[in-house]
A and B are shown apart, each in its own frame.
Chain A
């Protein structure tokens, strides 16, 4: 039985102290070796990390950071009142499950061995499907999608026609993104009205930026460009007409300049050339939404959500740092694409 929201809020406040500060993150980035990086983590909640000698180190580290995040999320879910627990499970588990489904479908599409597909999955208990192994053992990606019949992902079967038409899996991936966004927005109904604003802002910002990036990618392929209606069955802050203009415009900068804040700032790297910066700016924006949400209501659900948002961004940043250090990338080049150390 849940000890109730007030306890969960107090607990979230306490757990915030476990999160790595921007200064700590910067110190991690500046480590010259992987040993130094792992050593720096010993004094943090990540503790001693032992990496198996076999396999790729950066991927092993990624698994460690994901595991920690899932543990943190589950600790919160265990303490949360039922409505909040259900929402958080569907928010995070659905997100990871969508990532896993994309990886299975991509793997089947390109004919990867089943073991390699399973190895690439985020290790979570299947949320809305029976088993990932079952899907990965399908003969083809179409077969894998057909096996989703009777699950919340059933509507993906409808995107197979488009997928066959273009001999590509992007229709399935986009359909998955929309299933996720719709399901999260629907699951918001479990939360009281006042607690929905924060999550809605986060989900919509993510969906808007993803839609815009997909549209921007279509710009070069005028002739072979896909119909915006097919690609964007659901839009939020950035509407279908803006997405159409993005695909058709010769000057993307002018389209971005017409957008509202924060998109004008998040998407600016599209015309300055460094597209990877968009994701770190989006993460910074989400970090900021959570921070403001927490400041607006320091005694409610926003604190719980802010803790989980900060934890997830920390996980993403640590994955990037771990990879960068194993590759011997200079700190400035790693730092540029992180969210927390750059958060002002």
Chain B
């Protein structure tokens, strides 16, 4: 009885895990579609920004670029907070302070910096999304392994044990019945 109660519990757990797996798979598929779209747009924007940075370096020289970049007083400040979906935790990035590029930079460098700044939010969002997708995929893998282990190993082995016990009990009760019948027959013969 204990075993049967336990297997009922395990089967209910497996159903929950299957639901979780399906939900995670749905989340992952949606995330991958979004990622593909965002990534290609971001890559194009990155190319444009990188070209502008390259042009600034070639035009001004590396030391001058560094010197000018150092005059930016307010740098980028970020806060990384935890968020969760179906028990999967992923980082959420919040921009606390954006760099103030106005004023001090040469126009070449300031154009490049503006291009980088314009995609900064997209870069962070994409990084956050990638981390989310990666962790969902990781959790999906784990859940899948758990479901498979439960469905293919644990539940069948429990069923086997229960069947063995049931067979044993049936066998024993049959033996008992035969024994009772034999005793009953012997007693009846003695009374005659």
B-binding residues in A (CB < 8 A): 56, 58-59, 62, 99, 102-103, 106-107, 109-110, 112, 120, 166, 168-170, 173, 213-214, 216-217, 221, 224, 274-280, 316, 319-320, 323-324, 327, 329, 333-334, 336-338
Contacts and interface: CB of A to CB of B under 8 A. Distances in A.
B73 A274 contact: no
Interface string B57-82: 11111111011101111000000000
11 contacts: A62-B62, A62-B63, A110-B71, A112-B70, A120-B63, A120-B67, A169-B104, A170-B103, A213-B106, A319-B62, A338-B58
B161 interface: no
Contacts of A216: 107
Interface string B27-60: 0000000000000000000000001101111111
A279 B59 contact: yes
B51 A221 contact: no
Contact of B66 (A120, A279, A337): A120
Nearest to A336: B55
Given A106-B67, A106-B70, A110-B73, A58 B103 contact: no
A109 B71 CA distance: 6
Contacts of A173: 104
A275 B103 contact: no
Interface residues of B, number: 28
A323 B67 contact: no
B104 A170 contact: yes
Contacts of B56: 276
B61 A316 contact: yes
Contacts of B67: 102-103, 106-107, 120
B104 A275 contact: no
Contacts of B110: 217
Given A110-B73, A221-B102, A275 B61 contact: no
A132 B60 CA distance: 22
B59 A109 contact: no
A280 B59 contact: yes
Contacts of A338: 58
Interface string B110-124: 110000000000000
B105 to A, nearest CB: 8
Interface string B20-32: 0000000000000
Contacts of A337: 55, 58-59
A168 B107 contact: no
B125 interface: no
A275 B57 CA distance: 12
Interface string B82-118: 0000000000000000000011101110110000000
Contacts of B107: 213-214, 216-217, 275, 278
9 A-B pairs with the lowest CB-CB distances in the bound complex, closest first? A276-B55, A320-B58, A106-B71, A337-B58, A168-B103, A276-B59, A213-B107, A103-B67, A279-B59
B58 A324 contact: yes
Contacts of B71: 106, 109-110, 169
A327 B55 CA distance: 12
Contacts of B73: 109-110
A329 B57 CA distance: 11
A58 to B, nearest CB: 5
A338 B54 CA distance: 12
Contact of A324 (B54, B60, B68): B54
Given A103-B63, A168-B104, A217-B110, 19 more contacts: A62-B63, A103-B67, A106-B67, A109-B73, A110-B70, A110-B71, A110-B72, A168-B103, A170-B104, A173-B104, A221-B102, A274-B55, A276-B108, A276-B111, A277-B55, A278-B108, A323-B62, A324-B58, A333-B54
Contacts of B60: 279
B61 A62 contact: yes
Contacts of B55: 274-277, 336-337
A334 B61 contact: no
Contacts of A102: 67
A139 to B, nearest CB: 17
Contacts of A169: 71, 104
Contact of B104 (A106, A276, A324, A333): A106
A323 B58 contact: yes
Contacts of A168: 103-104
A103 B60 CA distance: 13
